[in-house]
Amino acid sequence: MLRVTLFVATALLASTTVAFAADANRMKRDAWSWIDSQTQVLETANLNIWSYAEIGLAESKSSKELQDLLVANGFSIETGVAGMPTAFVATYGNSGPVIGILAEFDALPGVSQAASPIETIGPNPEAGHACGHSVFGVGSTGAALAIKELIAADSFDGIIKLYGTPAEETGIGKVYMLRAGYFKDDDVILNWHPSDRNRASYGNTKAIVNVKFKFRGSAAHASAMPWSGRSALDGVELMSVGVNYMREHIKPDARVHYVITKGGGQPNVVPPEAEVWYYIRADTFEDVVSYYEWISDIARAAATMSRTELEEIEVQSEIHEMITVRALTEQTHKNLTAIGAPKWEKHELAFARTTQLEFQDPFGRPIGDDDTPALSMMIQPLPDEPTPARASTDVGDISWFVPVGGLGVASYGYGLPTHSWPVVAATGTTIGTKALVTAAKTIAATAIDLYTDPNLMARVKADWRKSRGDAPFRTVIPEGQPAPLAVR
């Protein structure tokens, strides 16, 4: 009798799972055709944000572009969150699993480019979307809107949140939103990033401390009475000499880079004020903190040598390494494979090929050869182990509190480096549109799986717990410090 009951129960469970899957497949098809029907709207939003090319914490028009789209589709909006005017949270739905989708929209200073395959100044001469965050923001918003359609049609119970996260390039937006308590109560967070290829994210990212060192000296006539002055710039330069000697003794995964943000007014005045801005990176936050402490000691020593004062060590932000979630990666990979890589037309391939030929590496060689695709047309196989970390993202911080899944979609010429003009060029054309549509469809599909399949949700959470472990989440940002109001 018990065996019969068990058999019936198992059969019922199996048939329910089949029904779930059939329903989910129907919902995915609905979501994909809805996203296709919105291509024009999404393209316009991208081209607007792409043209504004606003840098971190100054993305007022870009943020509003996405907010307007969400409000017009019935989302409620909370703006100016965590003390940042351009950060927002858009929500739809009343009950059920909570899935958050991340939208970025900040541009990079100094990489202006038109939607041309030849290097040309673009609509904003000061900045450009060299990390592709205009398509990032719009693709994520497209996914959230598609999920909203399904919730509104009572396809499932669920809450969808679209997070407008500013200033990713300085690792500020998500970090301060997290400190203000956002993200932590969601079940899963999804996102994507423009790339030169199509793949589910399964990679490590580097941790960072983003910190400014401020030196104070005293002004004097640099020729008449230099002995009366103390140069704050000397402090900065001696510090950097010290750091450049330190380099030999840090691990190969570490990266230290800096720009001098204040170096004095003009040569005949001994600079009374100077400031240097550092990103200190490594594969683990633990290592980054050790290097940060070492570099702080070097700064203090440089102040002693130059008889200046180290006025302030200002930790602007920090980023933690990514916690990967295998089950979420596998589900994203399945969905991306079902959707397929964007289908490129001849003129798009020709555009990307020209950018590869025009963009030369430091040895004057073009990117790739005749065997290099102009634009990726395949889905990368899933690696067994996470790929090694090269860059950083503040998405990493969220992954310490909530399972995070994502993908990369080909949005510019294969093999081209991010933060370069060809990325700006391609994301301002239909190449960008196709990439953001593919991303929106994949994120929507994975969200549908998570809303409708409790077993998948449980597996994702279990995988995350295993990857996360129980290491404490350390921070070097002072308790209660508000988000910066400007990047520099």
From the CB of residue 144, how many other CB atoms can be counted at a distance below 10 Å? 29
Burial of 240 (0-12, 13-18, 19+ CB in 10 A): buried
Which residues are CB-neighbours of 388 under 8 A, at least 6 positions away? 203, 204, 253, 283
> Which is closer to Zn ion, CB of 108 or CB of 288?
108
Which burial class, exposed, middle or buried, applies to 39 when counting CB atoms under 10 A from its CB (0-12, 13-18, 19+)? middle
The minimum distance between CB 445 and Zn ion, in angstroms, equals: 23
- In the complex, least distance from residue 132 CB atom to Zn ion, rounded to whole angstroms: 7
* Residue nearest to Zn ion as judged by C-beta position: 131
Distance in Å, CB of 419 to Zn ion, minimum? 8
Residue closer to Zn ion, measured from CB, 289 or 395: 395
Residues 129-168 that bind Zn ion (CB under 5 A): 131
- Tracing tokens 């900065």 back to the chain, one arrives at 236
Cα separation, 477 vs 174, in Å, equals: 14
Name which of residues 200 to 219 contact Zn ion (CB under 5 A).
none
Question: Which is nearer to Zn ion, 131 or 339 (by Cβ)?
Answer: 131
Tokens of 348: 């798009």
> For residues 97 and 166, which CB has a smaller minimum distance to Zn ion in the complex?
166
| Nearer to Zn ion (CB atom), residue 131 or residue 200 | 131
403 vs 408, beta carbon nearer Zn ion: 408
- 354 alpha-carbon distance from chain centroid: 27
For residue 96, the one-letter residue type is: G
Instruction: Report d(CA 173, CA 162) in Å as an integer.
Output: 14
Q: How far is the CB of 364 from Zn ion (least distance, A)?
A: 27
Whose Cβ is closer to Zn ion: residue 298's or residue 439's? 439
CB nearer to Zn ion: give 56 or 97: 56
Between 131 and 239, whose beta carbon lies closer to Zn ion? Answer: 131
Evaluate whether 443 touches 405 at the Cβ level (below 8 Å): no
Tell me how far, at minimum, the Cβ of 161 lies from Zn ion, in Å.
20
Task: Fill in the per-residue mask, 116 to 135: x = in contact with Zn ion (CB under 5 A), - = not in contact.
Answer: ---------------x----
Contact between 439 and Zn ion (CB under 5 A)? no
- Shortest Cβ 200–Zn ion spacing (Å): 17
* 172 lies in the binding site for Zn ion (CB under 5 A): no
Kindly state the smallest distance separating residue 133's Cβ from Zn ion, in Å.
Answer: 6
Q: Is 102 in the site for Zn ion (CB under 5 A)?
A: no
Instruction: Output the CA torsion sign for 389, 394, 400, 401.
Output: negative
Q: What is the closest distance, in whole angstroms, from the C-beta atom of residue 182 to Zn ion in the complex?
A: 20
Nearer to Zn ion, 167 or 325 (CB): 167
Number of residues that bind Zn ion (CB under 5 A): 1
| Residue 195 φ/ψ, nearest 5 degrees | -150, 180
Q: Give the H/E segment covering residue 349.
A: helix 346-358
In sequence order, the 6+-apart residues with CB closer than 8 A to the CB of 455 are 17
Q: d(Cα 350, Cα 366) in Å, to the nearest integer?
A: 15
Q: Does 424 bind Zn ion (CB under 5 A)?
A: no
Three state DSSP letters for 263-300: CCCCCCECCCEEEEEEEEEECCHHHHHHHHHHHHHHHH
Nearest distance from C-beta of residue 316 to Zn ion, angstroms = 18
Q: How far is the CB of 340 from Zn ion (least distance, A)?
A: 24
Say which residues have a Cβ less than 8 Å from residue 213's Cβ, sequence separation at least 6.
236, 239, 275, 276, 278, 296, 299, 310, 312, 313, 314
- Would strands 199-200 and 404-410 be described as parallel, antiparallel, or unpaired? antiparallel
| Residues found near Zn ion in the complex (CB under 5 A) | 131
